[in-house]
Amino acid sequence: MAYAYWKSGKMEDKAVFDLFFRKNPFKGEFAIFAGLSECLKFLSNFRFSDSDINYLKQILPHVDPQFWEYLSGLDASQVTMSAIPEGYVVFPKVPLIRLEGPLPVIQLLETTLLNLVNYASLVATNAARFRITAGESVQLLEFGLRRAQGPDGGLSASKYCYIGGFDGTSNVLAGKLFGIPVRGTHAHAFVNSFSSLDEIKGNVELTKSYLNKISPILNVLENETNEGELTAFLSYAFAFPTSCLCLLDTYSVIKSGLPNFLAVALALNDYGYRVIGVRLDSGDLAYLSRKCREGFNLIADKFGLPWIKQLIIVASNDINEDTLRSLKEQLVEVNGEPRMKLSEDVEKINLPGKKNVFRLYSEDGLAILDLIQLCTEKPPAVGKKILVRHPFNESKRAYVCPHKVELLYTDYWGDNCLMQSFSTLQETKQIASDSLKTLRQDIKRELNPTPYKVSVTNEMYHFLHDLWLKHAPIGELS
């Protein structure tokens, strides 16, 4: 396409691109915008290397040689980018990134920007949904590396889960590169690798005697517990006396894992250390965690150690991504003239022209709606009533009087340089958390969430519909 633009002399045509999405993922009514920092790094470094050009020459042998000179001189110096801050709660149809610059350059940037924003936003949104469901007090850890789309896909997942509201990751490289807290426990394989207490050099008698005392309390026969598992728990406790968390379901949580763990916990207590908890990785997690809690309470009371009641129970399971919806970027303006892609499907219409988006807040600090208007219009004013409209449905309109008005876009790139300093991962995580708090509860709930309103001004509405009437093909009934 870049070559065809060049060939038609459209190298210097100015274009505006909006990067937006059409539908919220996970059957929800919101998304978290993420990936902006990576987009800025990409803009800063955008160039075709000599080896890129040589490769392109091979696969496009019939191209006018002057085009290669043009291409090798391209960078993002003529481009300006405004965007919503990374971490913000965002909604369908609202442009997340607005890019202006020479048509072929903008076109060449498109796929990479979509690639960097799509997956990042999807993962951050998923994480935020988990956080909302789990509540603030629960720890959420990401263990997904082995199922991710390759090594880099795994790194991105760890990063954007953290932004969206997770507390840590088992991906040690993500910890090293991004400073995300690293958490982990042992696996079933660790338990399987031990078979007898003889494999341990240290004192095992204390633990054995505790197991003998515990078993009748928990209604377990002594020979039902697996000795290899007990050995594994003990080894793990020797290695990590201050952070011992044991995986209970290699053999049987109730008949083996729980009594073995509690025996190790009591022995470790005698040495002045406290275990921190257990992990369950299969079976009926709700039932088993209740059974563990019952066991903790029994032993805590029996041995006068109330802290055992507070031990944590970690449940680990597959994170299911229900739906993967994608962002779409569309050309919306060339040389100041608005263009739109028409379609018989009203949902697929792009909002034309260079636009601004304002988020309007009510007195309680909650977001009322996002208002899309043309850049040529005056911004909405605090305390002043304005008419807002559904972009396509004529009958849906309302007056709104905002208590606070926020322009969603910040200029991030222009004059060939970054116009904002990068926010840290921690700051972006905080923005996501704060932004989610401005969203009404019924919009965030899992079942039948209320859609958040994305409206247009009256002027935008008429601009859009005049353009539509001018260009739309008229159907024929036959």
The footprint of a copy of itself on residues 275-294 (CB under 8 A) is 282-283
133 binds a copy of itself (CB under 8 A): no
Residue 148: closest CA among 319, 271, 3: 319
Q: For a copy of itself, which residue of 41, 348, 385, 462 counts as binding (CB under 8 A)?
A: 348
Q: For a copy of itself, which residue of 10, 27, 213, 445 counts as binding (CB under 8 A)?
A: 10
Residue 43: closest CA among 78, 84, 94, 15: 78
* Phi, psi for 412 (deg, rounded to 5): -110, -25
Question: Among residues 37 and 438, whose Cβ is nearest to a copy of itself?
Answer: 37
Closest approach of Cβ 248 to a copy of itself, in Å?
Answer: 13
Q: Which stretch binds a copy of itself (CB under 8 A): 103-111, 130-138, 378-386, 455-463?
A: 103-111
Subset of 50-69 contacting a copy of itself (CB under 8 A) = 51-52, 55-56, 59, 62
334 binds a copy of itself (CB under 8 A): yes
Q: For a copy of itself, which residue of 69, 133, 138, 172 counts as binding (CB under 8 A)?
A: 172
Question: Among residues 13 and 75, whose Cβ is nearest to a copy of itself?
Answer: 13
Q: For a copy of itself, which residue of 46, 68, 70, 238 counts as binding (CB under 8 A)?
A: 238
468 binds a copy of itself (CB under 8 A): no
Q: For a copy of itself, which residue of 32, 114, 374, 443 counts as binding (CB under 8 A)?
A: 114
5 binds a copy of itself (CB under 8 A): yes
Subset of 173-192 contacting a copy of itself (CB under 8 A) = 175-176, 182, 186-190, 192
242 binds a copy of itself (CB under 8 A): yes
Q: Are 244 and 264 in contact (CB under 8 A)?
A: yes
250 binds a copy of itself (CB under 8 A): yes
384 binds a copy of itself (CB under 8 A): no
199 binds a copy of itself (CB under 8 A): yes
139 binds a copy of itself (CB under 8 A): no
Q: For a copy of itself, which residue of 46, 240, 303, 468 counts as binding (CB under 8 A)?
A: 240
Q: Other CB atoms closer than 10 Å to residue 115's CB: what's the count?
A: 15
Q: For a copy of itself, which residue of 125, 207, 215, 235 counts as binding (CB under 8 A)?
A: 235
